[in-house]
Structure 1
Amino acid sequence: MIAKRWMSGVVGSVVVAGVLAGCSTPPAPRAAPGPTYEPQVRPTPNRNSPAPKPTQDDKCPEGGVRLVETGGDAAMGLRVEGFQLVNCGTEPYVLEGYPEVSLRDSRNDPLEVTVEHGAEGITTGVPNIEAAPARVTLAPGQAASWSVVWRNLVTDATVTATTVPVLEIAPRPGAPRLWLRLARPFDLGNTGKLGIGPWTAAAR
């Protein structure tokens, strides 16, 4: 009788142990290794490298001449700006007197500005503005110069100051007109006046 109870206890213990073993939580599987991350290394820009130069349209305009802004000077409200007309064609180009000038706003609409020959009423002592008109013949590749002068004055706060961003000229009567968006717009204040000089042979 005692033996049966002992066997019964052993069997029960084995069964309980088996059940407990079956109910135990297995260890979590190890995660599979993910892809290796390699950061992309961008090349450091060379600050000493020259900046790319803007492209220029080398096509010669209709009429065989090109208008070029050459720069100027400003002092005590007085402005002088220079230009050249370059013969980019294949034939001689004859100029005489003054260019026919029209001033435009940013929408290319005409501005009400008085354009006069010479510097009278604006200043004195500007030889390239006050020079006498002369005949100038440009061989292919040669250039003629001309200049403009004005004062940047605001004498009436009720009148809007005028800025001229676009210049239009006819180099000679009947010639195709040339347009140029100015790198240095004319800041006329509210004087409403601009003086121009005649064509002169550009220094070689």
Structure 2
Amino acid sequence: SGSASSGSASSGSAASAGAGAGTGAGAGAAAGAGATAGAGASAGAGASAGAGAGGECPEGGVRLAEGDGSAAMGLRAESVQLVNCGAEPYALDGYPDLRLLDKAGAPVEATVAHGSAGITTGAPNVDARARRLVIAPGQAAYVPMVWRNLVTDSTVVATDGWALEVTPRRGAPTLMLRLTRPVDLGNTGKLGIGPWQELPR
């Protein structure tokens, strides 16, 4: 599993997400396929997604939506959905470029890693093998995320991410999603993500 520092990850190499080109707002509320992520936190809640209701479809034909989440014993599991709101099929391959932002919109210093290594065990959707997939208009894919909310060093400020900048695939416009639940990393400074996966209908 590859990883990238300074809050962005790509398929094997670090990449900085550019300026946000839209606001995710889809109606689907789901996190994926019901995989257990360690100490009682579910890495996916398994629900279907709608086509998203967020006004005009952003440039690129896709929009972001926040999935369901779970938390147990400091272990967090969430997901980000990508809804195809355009008229054409949308191809994805591997991992998105992803960057955390704080409430003020400034980048959060964190490592975004591919997979759950060093965070938890037993999160098969986060550790799934990357593969190419195509989402039809009105359908959705998701990226699972996992992290620990731990404060182990009182001299290091705990960090929260309140928005995500996501570039779904190389060359695509970057989208921004404001979160209702923060990515509260404590001072671990690490977020694990899985590859794009089909959202169960």
Q: TM-score range by the shorter chain?
A: 0.7 to 0.9
Q: Which has the higher contact order (CA 8 A, sep 6+)?
A: 2
Identity, % of aligned pairs?
Answer: 62
User: Which of 68, 72, 84 is equivalent to 1:87?
Assistant: 84
User: Which of 100, 103, 108 is equivalent to 2:105?
Assistant: 108
Whether 1:68 and 2:61 are equivalent positions in the alignment is: no
Larger radius of gyration: 1
In structure 2, what is the Cα distance between the partners aligned to 1:202 and 1:187? 24
User: Which of 175, 180, 188 is equivalent to 1:178?
Assistant: 175
Deviation (angstroms), 1:82: 1.4
> Which residue is 1:151 aligned to?
148
Counterpart residue type for residue 203 of structure 1: P
In structure 2, what is the Cα distance between the partners aligned to 1:111 and 1:83? 18
Q: CA RMSD in A?
A: 0.9
In structure 2, what is the Cα distance between the partners aligned to 1:67 and 1:89? 13
Deviation (angstroms), 1:57: 3.1
User: Which of 166, 191, 194 is equivalent to 1:194?
Assistant: 191
Deviation (angstroms), 1:97: 0.2
Deviation (angstroms), 1:71: 1.5
User: Which of 130, 133, 154 is equivalent to 1:133?
Assistant: 130
Counterpart residue type for residue 174 of structure 1: G
Counterpart residue type for residue 149 of structure 2: N
In structure 1, what is the Cα distance between the partners aligned to 2:54 and 2:90? 21
TM-score, normalised relative to structure 1: 0.71
In the alignment, structure 1 segments of 5+ residues that lack a partner are 1-55
Q: If each structure's helix is expressed as a fraction of its own residues, which one has the higher value?
A: 1
Greater than 6 Å deviation, 4+ residue runs: none
Please show how residues 3-42 of structure 1 align to structure 2 within 5 Å: none
Deviation (angstroms), 1:58: 2.1
In structure 1, what is the Cα distance between the partners aligned to 2:105 and 2:80? 20
Deviation (angstroms), 1:120: 0.3
In structure 1, what is the Cα distance between the partners aligned to 2:102 and 2:160? 7
Task: Count residues with an aligned counterpart.
Answer: 149
Q: 1:175-196, CA deviations, whole angstroms, 9 ceiling, x for partnerless residues?
A: 0001011010111000000000
> Which residue is 1:142 aligned to?
139
Deviation (angstroms), 1:128: 1.1
In structure 2, what is the Cα distance between the partners aligned to 1:103 and 1:186? 8
In the alignment, structure 2 segments of 5+ residues that lack a partner are 1-52
Q: 1:63-89, CA deviations, whole angstroms, 9 ceiling, x for partnerless residues?
A: 100101011110110000012100000
